[in-house]
């Protein structure tokens, strides 16, 4: 009996190292694989239709380059944590997809390889996305397609009220007010206390000539005042401070918002409801002469520092392939995003007229990390905190950002 006991203890002791090594083996799931013809890929497309469309494009490039793919999909909010974990255990994949505002942060840690090392041609790409993918003068990633924000309008509701699509902030306020009745609001947008809220504020900030590095400027206060006015007048719900962009889309689709600020990735959902008639335009401007300027969204494909020169070269070829003209057009068309090569814009709009406003918007769009680089997250935190302070009435629009910055 007693002997058996000790055996059990010894056996369980013997299992400890096994279990530990089991953990580390499991952790390297997305890591660079040893097989020379296999590239490991990590991205955050885990939901269809995006997943299916992106995987199809990846497979096509794999066939072209005659390599096998070992792809891992990580949910968007876990991707950076996963990347950090992979970089500390030296198991970064051969090809890594990053959301564009995260690129400089990861590049600054030394985890990525400049694409110039592999003579990747970066000409012809829109300047905004190159800015996002550049750290200390080197381009670290390329995006096949990008997205941005615009104003979606429920045509039926607008026609019923006999109103025109707003093009200025004043028109936006009066139109939204006129469209609010019962449990319907004129406009929906996301001012949630995450980076999503900051991203949705940027079109107003930038269009008005404000900048993320000068949030105490009168231009920034004016942009914030617009959101405050919309909420206080009842043209937008007080709940905007808790809405994600998906919530905003749900409100719009349920007919509880006549207009919304949102991105083209919502178009497949909008099109799924045939009774909904909508159109999209560029974000309204404050004063005549201003250019509607919205932030650039989208994912860049990068080549991490894995130490395997031969595979890195192959990975760079793969990044080139996934961002070539054919893939840009097919991905843009199927995912309602905009090709990053400016020369493709005209051809694309002809194919997908729904995307005309967004394609135009992208031409002037800016990257979030263009000015501040790796300091963007700090500014974004100040931004969404200030928005929340102003929309809940705790601070005036003039003081909100400086109060948020002091925190």
Ordered DSSP codes for 140-198: -EE-SEEB--EEEEEHHHHHHHT-PPP-BHHHHHHHHHHH-BTTBEEEE----SSHHHH
Do residues 40 and 93 make contact, with C-beta atoms less than 8 angstroms apart?
yes
- In the complex, least distance from residue 193 CB atom to other proteins, rounded to whole angstroms: 4
Q: Which is nearer to other proteins, 242 or 342 (CB)?
A: 242
Q: Can you tell me which residue has the tokens 């349920």? A: 254
Write down how long the chain is. 407
Ordered DSSP codes for 338-375: EESBGGGHHHHHHH-GGGHHHHHHHHT-B-TTTTTGGG
- In the complex, least distance from residue 407 CB atom to other proteins, rounded to whole angstroms: 4
Token digits for 345? Answer: 């814009």
Q: Which is nearer to other proteins, 29 or 234 (CB)?
A: 234
How far apart CA 338 and CA 328 sit, in angstroms, is 8
- In the complex, least distance from residue 287 CB atom to other proteins, rounded to whole angstroms: 29
Residues contacting residue 128 through CB under 8 Å, at least 6 positions apart: 146, 296, 362, 365, 366, 367, 370
Q: Which is nearer to other proteins, 146 or 315 (CB)?
A: 315
- In the complex, least distance from residue 198 CB atom to other proteins, rounded to whole angstroms: 12
Residues contacting residue 50 through CB under 8 Å, at least 6 positions apart: 335
Do residues 252 and 179 make contact, with C-beta atoms less than 8 angstroms apart?
no
Comparing CA positions, the residue from 300, 326, 268, 334 lying closest to residue 54 is 334
Interface with other proteins (CB under 8 A): 1-3, 6, 9-10, 12-13, 16, 80-81, 84-85, 87-88, 105-106, 108-111, 183, 192-194, 237-239, 241-242, 256, 305, 377-378, 381, 385, 388-389, 391-392, 394, 406-407
Q: Which is nearer to other proteins, 7 or 36 (CB)?
A: 7
Q: Which is nearer to other proteins, 112 or 226 (CB)?
A: 112
Q: Which is nearer to other proteins, 28 or 305 (CB)?
A: 305
- In the complex, least distance from residue 311 CB atom to other proteins, rounded to whole angstroms: 18
Give the CA angle between residues 51, 54, 58 to the nearest 5°: 130
162: buried, middle or exposed (CB in 10 Å: 19+, 13-18, 0-12)?
Answer: exposed
Token digits for 10? Answer: 């010894």
- In the complex, least distance from residue 302 CB atom to other proteins, rounded to whole angstroms: 13
248: buried, middle or exposed (CB in 10 Å: 19+, 13-18, 0-12)?
Answer: buried
How far apart CA 85 and CA 29 sit, in angstroms, is 12
- In the complex, least distance from residue 91 CB atom to other proteins, rounded to whole angstroms: 12
Q: Which is nearer to other proteins, 105 or 222 (CB)?
A: 105
Q: Which is nearer to other proteins, 60 or 405 (CB)?
A: 405
- In the complex, least distance from residue 70 CB atom to other proteins, rounded to whole angstroms: 22
Q: Which is nearer to other proteins, 10 or 343 (CB)?
A: 10
- In the complex, least distance from residue 199 CB atom to other proteins, rounded to whole angstroms: 14
Residues contacting residue 350 through CB under 8 Å, at least 6 positions apart: none
């Amino acid at each position: 009996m007693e002997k058996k006991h000790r055996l059990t203890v010894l056996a369980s002791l013997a299992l400890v190292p096994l279990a530990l090594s089991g953990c580390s083996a499991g952790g390297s799931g997305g890591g660079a694989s040893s097989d020379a013809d296999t590239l490991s890929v990590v991205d955050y497309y885990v939901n269809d239709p995006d997943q299916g469309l992106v995987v199809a494009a990846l497979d096509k490039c794999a066939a072209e380059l005659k390599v096998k793919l070992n792809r891992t999909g990580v949910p968007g909010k876990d991707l950076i944590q996963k990347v950090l974990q992979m970089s500390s255990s030296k198991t970064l994949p051969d090809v890594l997809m990053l959301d564009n505002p995260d690129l400089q942060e990861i590049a600054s840690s030394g985890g990525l390889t400049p694409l110039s090392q592999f003579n990747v041609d970066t000409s012809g790409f829109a300047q905004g996305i190159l800015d996002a993918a550049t750290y200390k003068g080197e381009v670290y990633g390329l995006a096949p397609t990008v997205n941005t924000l615009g104003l979606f309008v429920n045509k039926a509701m607008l026609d019923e009220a006999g109103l025109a699509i707003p093009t200025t902030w004043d028109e936006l306020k009066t139109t939204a007010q006129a469209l609010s009745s019962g449990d319907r609001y004129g406009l929906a947008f996301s001012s949630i206390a995450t980076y999503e809220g900051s991203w949705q504020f940027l079109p107003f900030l930038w269009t008005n000539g404000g900048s993320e590095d000068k949030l105490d400027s009168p231009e920034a206060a004016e942009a914030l005042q617009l959101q405050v006015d919309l909420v206080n007048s009842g043209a937008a719900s007080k709940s905007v401070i808790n809405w994600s962009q998906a919530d905003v889309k749900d409100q719009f689709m349920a007919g509880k918002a006549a207009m919304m600020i949102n991105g083209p990735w919502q178009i497949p959902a909008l099109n799924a409801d045939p009774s909904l008639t909508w159109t999209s335009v560029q974000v309204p401007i404050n004063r005549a002469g201003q250019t509607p300027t919205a932030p650039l969204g989208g994912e860049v494909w990068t080549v991490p520092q894995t130490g395997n020169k031969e595979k890195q070269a192959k990975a760079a070829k793969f990044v080139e392939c996934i961002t070539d003209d054919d893939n840009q057009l097919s991905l843009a068309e199927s995912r309602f995003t905009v090709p990053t090569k400016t020369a493709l814009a005209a051809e694309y709009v002809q194919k997908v007229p729904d995307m005309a406003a967004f394609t135009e918007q992208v031409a002037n769009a800016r990257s979030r990390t263009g000015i501040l680089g790796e300091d963007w997250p700090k500014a974004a935190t100040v931004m969404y905190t200030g928005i929340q302070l102003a929309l809940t009435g705790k601070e005036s629009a003039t003081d909100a950002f400086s109060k948020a910055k002091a925190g």
